[in-house]
């Protein structure tokens, strides 16, 4: 299966009756391996034992997460200036006059120093013995041949998956799919309203050591599915949306803008009014604060929208550092409901974020993690999660960088 996020689609026409594009695209050559370089429930804190069997790595106490930081383009305070739109990836960071008050966590800006601190993932237990175990693990990862990583990915490609795409293939739902070959399984699709209407979105639950991480993986909204998207946000009480694509990449529409582009004018939909309250531009992602108002009831809901803007048109980011900081800020921002993640098709980059988020949380809690197992769980719930061997390799690259930074700090 080809990569939905990194390459061009077969067609710019999104009307299925004419021909929906597939997620096919060109592949980028694999990188060298590592020569140089939700909600949580029922967390167990019992001691664990390190093991490398079947690539399952455990960080625990025996008996008893570098960056090329350039200027950070944000304002130190939310500003009251409203001179440019905050839509397609540009502008300053104003605050909407007369807007409702948010919690300190939601309304305040983020500094590069804070992001640096978030990137340094530190386990609960981090004594000499734990560090020794982690050094051994890091050395083993650095010696891991690219062939082994590709072999794991090919195992994923061969695994049996559900074949229940009835809802996505129904005639009235076909125009709601961005790509004809990326559909949600009926068993895990996100239903809308009392009639369980269709949206191309899947519930993803990853279990690691009795702790469950809960996500919604979805495609980038189309013009005709924007209303459905916000309905999904409201009905699932989600407070964070992680968007890992720009609206247009390589001249191809990857995701339609589904938010208001200025603080002065809300986006008026049939059921909802979306207001842009604040926004902030960082060097590699954009923070937008939205207030969603349901017109029939007046009920409002606040959402933090985090758009990563440094994923290249093809391949994977040259440096893992920006993406690590972004994922950590996404996790820090999460308060309630499943964490919504989308790129263009909602499988490639989306899968990378979910995978490394689970790994980061595991490292923090001295839990084992198995990248192959995490991706296997994802693929059983939405087809093609992590689409290419380059994306799968990038997950390993990220883990290596986090452990290198952690052990350097120690």
Q: What is the mean pLDDT of residues 218-245?
A: 98
Distances (CA, A) of 288 to 74, 94, 259, 318: 13, 10, 9, 25
Least confident of 167-171, 223-227, 314-318: 314-318
Distances (CA, A) of 401 to 34, 61, 324, 336, 367: 9, 22, 9, 29, 18
Q: What is the mean pLDDT of residues 147-171?
A: 93
In contact, 166 and 383? CB cutoff 8 Å: no
Place of tokens 């995978």: 355
Residue-level pLDDT at 397: 95
Write out the two tokens for 203: 């519930």
**pLDDT of 288-303, one tens digit each?**
999 999 999 999 999 9
Q: What is the mean pLDDT of residues 247-268?
A: 96
- Catalytic entry in 238, 255, 302, 343: 343
Secondary structure (3-state) at 154: helix
Whether the predicted pLDDT of 155 surpasses 90? yes
Q: Which residues have C-beta within 8 Å of that of residue 272, sequence separation ≥ 6? A: 227, 230, 231, 234, 292, 293, 294, 295
Percent of the chain at pLDDT above 70?
74
How do the domains of the chain map onto residue ranges? 71-409
Whether the predicted pLDDT of 105 surpasses 50? no
Distances (CA, A) of 236 to 131, 216, 233: 40, 9, 5
Percent of the chain at pLDDT above 90?
65
Residue-level pLDDT at 205: 98
- In sequence order, what DSSP letters do the residues of 12-73 get, joined into one string? S---TTT----S--PPPPPPP-SS-----------------GGG-B----S-----------
- Average pLDDT value over all residues in the chain: 81
Nearest 10 degrees: Cα torsion 65, 68, 70, 73 = -40
Residue-level pLDDT at 2: 41
Residue-level pLDDT at 207: 97
Residue-level pLDDT at 19: 52
- In sequence order, what DSSP letters do the residues of 171-208 get, joined into one string? GGGGGG-SSTT----TTTB--BTTTTB--SEEEEEEEE
Q: What is the mean pLDDT of residues 225-248?
A: 98
Whether the predicted pLDDT of 182 surpasses 90? yes
Q: Which residues have C-beta within 8 Å of that of residue 321, sequence separation ≥ 6? A: 66, 67, 68, 119, 401
The CATH number corresponding to 71-409 among 3.40.50.2300, 3.90.190.10, 3.40.50.300, 1.25.40.340 equals 3.90.190.10
In contact, 345 and 21? CB cutoff 8 Å: no
Whether the predicted pLDDT of 400 surpasses 80? yes
Least confident of 63-67, 114-118, 394-398: 63-67
Residue-level pLDDT at 66: 35
Residue-level pLDDT at 75: 35
**pLDDT of 354-379, one tens digit each?**
999 999 999 999 998 899 999 999 99
Residue-level pLDDT at 162: 84
| pLDDT bracket for residue 319 (50, 70, 90) | confident
Q: What is the mean pLDDT of residues 148-168?
A: 93
* Cα 235 from chain centre: 20
| pLDDT bracket for residue 30 (50, 70, 90) | very low
Closest CA to 305 of 336, 338, 340: 340
Residue-level pLDDT at 107: 55
DSSP state of 94: B
Residue-level pLDDT at 68: 37
CB atoms within 10 A of CB 134: 21
Q: What is the mean pLDDT of residues 272-291?
A: 97
DSSP state of 223: G
What are the residue ranges of helices labelled H in 48-145?
104-107, 112-119, 128-142
Supply the Cα-derived Rg of the chain in whole angstroms: 21
CA atoms within 13 A on the CB side of 354: 41
The residue that leads in pLDDT, 60 or 343, is 343
Residue-level pLDDT at 372: 94
Place of tokens 């019992």: 46
Treating both helix axes as pointing N-terminal to C-terminal, what angle do 112-119 and 321-333 enclose, rounded to 10 degrees? 90
| pLDDT bracket for residue 13 (50, 70, 90) | very low
Active site residue 395: no
């Amino acid at each position: 299966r080809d990569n939905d996020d990194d390459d061009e689609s077969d067609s710019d026409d999104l009307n299925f009756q004419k021909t929906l594009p597939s997620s096919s695209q060109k592949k980028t050559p694999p990188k060298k391996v590592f020569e140089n370089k939700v909600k949580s429930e029922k967390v167990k804190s019992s001691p664990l034992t390190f093991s490398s069997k079947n690539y399952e790595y455990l960080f625990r106490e025996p008996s008893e997460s570098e960056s090329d930081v350039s200027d950070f383009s944000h304002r130190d305070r939310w500003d009251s200036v409203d001179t440019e739109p905050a839509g397609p990836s540009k502008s300053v960071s104003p605050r909407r006059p007369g807007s409702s008050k948010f919690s300190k966590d939601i309304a305040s800006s983020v500094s590069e120093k804070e992001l640096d601190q978030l990137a340094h993932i530190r386990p609960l237990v981090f004594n000499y013995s734990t560090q020794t175990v982690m050094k051994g693990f890091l050395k083993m990862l650095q010696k891991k041949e690219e062939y082994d990583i590709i072999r794991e990915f090919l195992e994923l490609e061969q695994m049996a998956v559900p074949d229940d795409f009835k809802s996505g293939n129904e005639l009235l739902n076909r125009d709601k799919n961005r790509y004809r070959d990326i559909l949600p399984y009926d068993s895990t699709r996100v239903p809308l309203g009392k009639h369980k209407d269709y949206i191309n979105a899947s519930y993803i639950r990853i279990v690691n050591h009795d702790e469950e991480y809960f996500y919604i993986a979805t495609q980038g909204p189309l013009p005709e599915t924007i209303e459905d998207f916000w309905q999904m946000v409201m009905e699932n009480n989600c407070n964070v949306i992680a968007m890992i694509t720009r609206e247009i990449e390589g001249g191809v529409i990857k995701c339609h803008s589904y938010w208001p582009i200025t603080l002065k004018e809300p986006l008026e939909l049939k059921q909802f009014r979306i207001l842009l309250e604040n926004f902030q531009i960082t060097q590699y992602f954009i923070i937008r604060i939205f207030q969603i108002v349901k017109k029939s009831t007046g009920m409002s809901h606040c959402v933090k929208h985090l758009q990563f803007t440094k994923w290249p048109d093809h391949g994977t980011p040259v440096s893992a550092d920006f993406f690590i900081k972004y994922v950590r800020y996404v996790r820090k921002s999460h308060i309630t409901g499943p964490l919504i993640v989308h790129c263009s098709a909602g499988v490639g980059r989306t899968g990378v974020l979910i995978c490394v988020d689970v790994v980061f949380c595991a490292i923090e809690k001295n839990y084992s993690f198995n990248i192959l197992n995490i991706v296997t769980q994802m693929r059983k719930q939405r087809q093609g999660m992590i689409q290419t061997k380059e994306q799968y390799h990038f997950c390993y690259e990220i883990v290596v960088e986090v452990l290198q930074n952690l052990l350097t700090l120690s």
